């Protein structure tokens, strides 16, 4: 079964807009799990514009499914991860000024750096996942540096899907087949939504996890959080 990990960054962004604790991020994380989510994802950035570093130990204490911390493995980020030991750490090559994650790692060019990070995570008992564009060479590169999983960047898929679903999904199917052949786990995320998720899930074999935040939170404004999570789970069933 493909797991749904709910990214709660946008919930934190709403909270931060008023400077208080509404909505309560801890309670939202617990509710997401109660409503059926099989994981919670957070992406702390250097400016802490949504998830704050101080949120991480609070979430670690209450998340009972899987906590996935994603971000650029800077020194400060890695200290945060190692101090809190999430189930999974997803490595994302975001620049500090990035609005959102819009490209994956070149796992060949940055092989030495990524190998050191993956080794560090493995020694700490943390599953590693590398965020990559849907290209087979990057899947091979991730396996070579010792990553446990890759997360395929699905932004281009979501953009192309309305015009040509088959062309949009093709590179992801190839990467999924290669990942299965060489023994590396497969996650996916970015711009997946209620319109394109079912098709993606049906055509990408051995998909272990999807991480969805922005679209899910937008849908929750209309459908409610509990109902929205159930709607996304149905796309994965």
Question: What integer pLDDT is reported at residue 202 of this predicted model?
Answer: 98
Asked whether residue 100 carries a pLDDT value surpassing 90, the answer given is no
Which domains, from first to last, does the chain contain? 3-235 (3.20.20.70)
**For residue 133, pLDDT beyond 70:** yes
Q: Residue 102: is its pLDDT beyond 80?
A: no
The predicted structure's pLDDT at residue 101: 60
Using pLDDT thresholds of 50, 70 and 90, give the confidence band for residue 31: very high
Q: Which residues are identified as catalytic?
A: 43, 70, 190
Confidence of residue 99 (pLDDT cuts 50, 70, 90): low
Q: Structure pTM?
A: 0.95
| 98 has pLDDT over 80 | no
State residue 94's pLDDT score.
Answer: 80
| HEC readout, the chain | CCEEEEECHHHHHHHHHHCCCCCCHHHHHHHHHHCCCCEEEECCCCCCCCCCCCHHHHHHHHCCCCEEEEECCCHHHHHHHHHHCCCEEEECCCCCCCCCCCCCCCCCCCHHHHHHHHHHHHHCCCEEEEEECCCHHHHHHHHHCCCCEEEEECHHHHHHCCCCHHHHHHHHHHHHHHHHHHCCEEEEECCCCCCCHHHHHHHCCCCCEEEECHHHHHHHHHHCHHHHHHHHHHHCC
């Amino acid at each position: 079964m493909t797991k749904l990990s709910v990214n709660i960054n946008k919930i934190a962004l709403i909270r931060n807009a008023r400077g208080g604790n509404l909505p309560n991020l801890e309670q939202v994380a617990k509710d997401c799990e109660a409503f059926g989510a099989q994981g919670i994802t957070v992406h702390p950035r250097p400016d802490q514009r949504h998830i704050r570093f101080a949120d991480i130990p609070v979430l670690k204490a209450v998340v009972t499914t899987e906590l996935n911390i994603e971000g650029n493995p800077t020194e400060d980020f890695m200290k945060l991860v190692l101090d809190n030991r999430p189930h999974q750490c997803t490595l994302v090559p975001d620049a500090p000024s990035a609005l959102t994650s819009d490209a994956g790692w070149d796992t060949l060019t940055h092989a030495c750096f990524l190998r050191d990070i993956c080794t560090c995570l493995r020694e700490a008992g943390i599953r590693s996942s590398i965020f990559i564009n849907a290209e087979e060479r990057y899947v091979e590169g991730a396996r070579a540096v010792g990553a446990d999983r890759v997360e395929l960047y699905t932004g281009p898929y979501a953009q192309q899907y309305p015009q040509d679903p088959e062309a949009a999904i093709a590179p992801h199917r190839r990467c999924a087949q290669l990942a299965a052949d060489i023994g590396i786990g497969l996650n996916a995320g970015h711009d997946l939504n209620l319109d394109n998720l079912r098709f993606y899930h049906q055509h990408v074999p051995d998909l272990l996890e999807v991480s969805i935040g922005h679209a899910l939170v937008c849908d929750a404004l209309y459908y409610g959080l509990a109902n929205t999570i159930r709607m996304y789970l149905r796309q994965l069933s």
